Amino acid sequence: MGHAATRATTILLQGFVAITAILGALFVVPGLPLDWLQRGPMTDYTLPAVALGLVGVSAVVSIVLLAFERPRAPVATMLSGAMMIAFEFVEITVVGLAIVVHGADNPVSWLQVVYIAIGVTVMMLGYRLWYQMATPWAYAQHPR
C-alpha cells in the first residue's frame, strides 16, 4: 500500500472513530444505566463521556494533520489509536468485558473488541505513515 492509500485508509478509519466517539460521548454514554458503574470509582458518566469525546477530538486532529500532510500526523495518529485502546481497556475494567457480561450473541457486545482492533490498526497505519515519511527513499525501493 502506497503512501496515498495509507493516508486515505487512515483518514477513513479516523473519520469513523471521530464521528462515533463524539456522538457516543454526547448521546450514548450519558444515557447508560448507572448500575453499570458499581464496579468502578465513578458515580456518573461525566468522566467517561469527556474521555470518549477526547478520543474523538484526537481523531479529528489526526485527520486534519493527515489532510495537510503535516510531519506530526503519524505521531498524532498513533497517539489517537493508543487513546482509543486505553479508553476501551478502562471501560472493560470498570464495566466488564461486554462479550462476557451480555453474551457473544448480542452484536453490541462486540463493540469493545472492534474498537480495540480499530485502535491497533490506526496505530499500525500511523507507524507505516511515519516510516514512509521518514524514509521515502527506502520505501520507494522496497514497498511493503
Q: Specify the pTM.
A: 0.89
Is 77 inside any structural domain?
yes
**What would the 3-class secondary structure string for the chain be?**
CCHHHHHHHHHHHHHHHHHHHHHHHHHHHHHCCHHHHHHCCCCCCHHHHHHHHHHHHHHHHHHHHHHCCCCCHHHHHHHHHHHHHHHHHHHHHHHCCHHHHHCCCCHHHHHHHHHHHHHHHHHHHHHHHHHHHHCHHHHHHCCC
Number of domains in the chain: 1
Query: What is the model's pLDDT at position 136?
Result: 67
Domain that holds residue 29: 3-139
Is 14 inside any structural domain?
yes
Is 55 inside any structural domain?
yes
pLDDT digits (tens, 9 = 90+) for 89-112: 999 888 888 888 888 887 778 999
Is 66 inside any structural domain?
yes
Is 37 inside any structural domain?
yes
Is 144 inside any structural domain?
no
Query: What is the model's pLDDT at position 103?
Result: 84
Is the pLDDT score of 129 beyond 80? yes
Is 40 inside any structural domain?
yes
Is the pLDDT score of 143 beyond 80? no
CB atoms within 10 A of CB 6: 19
Indicate the length of the chain as a whole number.
144
